[in-house]
Amino acid sequence: MRHALRGTTIAVVGAAVLLSAACRPDKPDIDYTKAAPWVFAGSTMGTTYHVTIALPPMGQDTRRALERRIKDILDDVDAKMSTYKSTSEASQFNAARAGQAVPVSSDTMRVVRLALTVARLSEGAFDPTIEPLVELWGFGANRSVPLVPDKIDLAVAGELVNYRKLIADKQTGSLTKKQDGVQIDLSAVAKGYAVDKAHDALVAAGYPNVMVEVGGEVRTHGLNADRVPWRIGVDRPNPEAKTGTELELVLGVTDTAVATSGDYRNYRIVDGKRISHTIDPKTRRPVEHGLASVSVVAPTCALADALATAANVLGPEKGLRLLEEHERAEGYLIVHDGTAFRSLKTSGFDRYIAK
């Protein structure tokens, strides 16, 4: 999924929609029923975020401090990994020469290593070095590119896209490229990772029932006010409908994450044809299969985020197979079928559908 991590306002593809926004008391010494659920929101990574927690009565100073902490966590991930920010670690790596070791934070190292893991699992369908092709097709910072790239330019950019040309050395805490011009785009993992960091901070601070959502990517802990798993809606792939107004299904999840990737929010129209923002590293072109959206449930939002993108590149059958073979993930795929849609799902997905 092409996230708004770059600093632009981009509608999230197939955003998961919060349907229930309250928490359940887990600690007997705290009476959550006497305090209304606390919801706060803001902007980050070119999109919006919402956090819901249940609290005992507390002062405004404490609340403001917690809001600032979550905002700082989200903005810190953006500052490190956005390719729109010239000072980010991602941009510093992109500007480096081949063989030059670029020091990065533990956060960026974790995201890159996860991206490389999913790249190997998907046999390169997911590739963190996709940046040259993203820019060439006009979905990056340079929006003045031709509507359809020249074949020679495509060939040149395509030679730079290969995750095997990226070395993430955990011991030295550095990234190195094997060829000049190799560039990373972490947007298909970084937003999910930011959700995870905010979630983990809240749980570590002692809040047992929380929901964190950034641009449609969600992670939950505990149960909602009705003492059942959190209700998360998945949009039907209709580009004309506002997020949350046409739902394909409703999930009931706890202590897990949901991420969705699709083709109907971020695209360009060229000569009457829809050009998807999702680029296939192998064909070097936007995907043209019939997969409209993929929703993935996984233990962490970063993993769900990356797997949803990988499946979206692979298409219906191969994408379903990838998710079916992953022991920690389940998926629901919506496929164009003429003027209608059909759905595919992994064998274990039904347990997440709200009863």
238-278 pLDDT per residue, tens: 767 677 778 999 999 999 999 999 865 555 555 556 667 88
CA pair distance 123, 318, nearest whole angstrom: 11
In the predicted structure, residue 151 carries a pLDDT above the cut 80: yes
Domain contains 60: no
Q: Is the pTM of this model over 0.85?
A: yes
The verdict on residue 5 lying in a domain is no
The answer to whether residue 344 scores a pLDDT higher than 90 is: yes
Residue 321 covered by a domain: no
The pLDDT of residue 145 is 59
Tens of pLDDT along 162-185? Answer: 999 999 999 999 999 999 999 999
Q: Could you tell me the residue range of the domain that residue 124 belongs to?
A: 86-186
Q: Which residues lie closer than 8 Å to 189 by C-beta, 6 or more apart?
A: 111, 114, 115, 118, 128, 302, 305, 306
Please tell me the distance from the alpha carbon of residue 228 to that of residue 225, in angstroms, as a whole number: 7
Mean pLDDT of 322-351: 95
Assigned domain for 39 exists: no
Residue 40 lies in a domain: no
Q: Which residues of 261-284 are buried (b: 16+ CB within 10 A; e: fewer)?
A: bbbbbbbbeeeeeebbbbbbbeeb
Q: Report how many domains make up the chain.
A: 1
Whether the pLDDT of residue 40 is over 60: the answer is yes
What is the C-alpha to C-alpha distance for residues 274 and 266, in angstroms, rounded to an integer? 10
- Whether residue 90 lies inside any domain: the answer is yes
Q: Which pLDDT band, with edges at 50, 70 and 90, does 57 fall under? A: low
Query: What one-character-per-residue DSSP string does 67-108 give?
Result: HHHHHHHHHHHHHHH-TT-TTSHHHHHHHSPTT--EE--HHH
Segment among 1-5, 77-81, 145-149, 223-227 with least mean pLDDT = 1-5
Expressed in percent and rounded to 5, the helix, strand and coil fractions of the chain are 35, 25, 40
Q: Tell me whether residue 175 is in a domain.
A: yes
Distance CA(45)–CA(4), nearest Å, equals 6
Domain assignment present for residue 254? The answer is: no
- CATH number of the CATH domain containing 181: 1.10.3980.10
pLDDT at 341: 92
How many other C-beta atoms lie within 10 A of the C-beta of residue 194?
33
Residue 147 confidence (pLDDT) above 80: no
The length of the chain is 355
